[in-house]
Structure 1
Amino acid sequence: MADPINLNRFRKAKARKQAREDADRNSVLYGLPKAKKTRARAEAERIARLHEGGRREDGSESDETGD
């Protein structure tokens, strides 16, 4: 016969695991210094400008070939 499990212990362990995951996620999101956040934002904007600058300006908005 299987050993009985304590549901309260299981529930608390699950809550601790979730809290630990939330803390790790928040440390990544909010744990950066202002200078690094600013640098990352500027880099993302630079990449977006380069990507947007690479678009062709042929006047057609659709993917149709116009045959």
Structure 2
Amino acid sequence: MGKLVNLNHARKAAAKREAAAQAAANRVKHGRTGAQKQADRQAEARRQAVLDGAKRDES
């Protein structure tokens, strides 16, 4: 005779595997590395510095 399987456990385990696969796909699709985030921060800081240097005095 075969092994008894609780169908609720099997269904939940399958859903958990599917969710984990979806999460991995989303991390690849939307994730950014620390180096990319740092480069974006530096670019934004340079952009702000250029804008601040071009401000006119309100006298």
Does 1:32 find its partner at 2:35? no
- Alpha-carbon distance between aligned partners in 1 of 2:29 and 2:4, rounded to the nearest angstrom: 40
Aligned residues: 35
Q: CA deviation at 1:32?
A: 1.8
Question: Identity over the aligned pairs, expressed in percent?
Answer: 40
Determine the structure 2 residue equivalent to 1:12.
12
User: Which structure has the highest helix share of the two?
Assistant: 2
Runs of 4+ aligned residues of structure 1 deviating over 3 Å after TM superposition are none
Cα RMSD after superposing both structures: 1.7
- Alpha-carbon distance between aligned partners in 2 of 1:5 and 1:15, rounded to the nearest angstrom: 16
Q: Which moved more, 1:1-10 or 1:20-29?
A: 1-10
Q: Give the AA of the match of 1:12.
A: K
TM-score, normalised on structure 2?
Answer: 0.52
Structure 1 gap segments, 5+ residues each: 37-67
- Alpha-carbon distance between aligned partners in 2 of 1:16 and 1:24, rounded to the nearest angstrom: 12
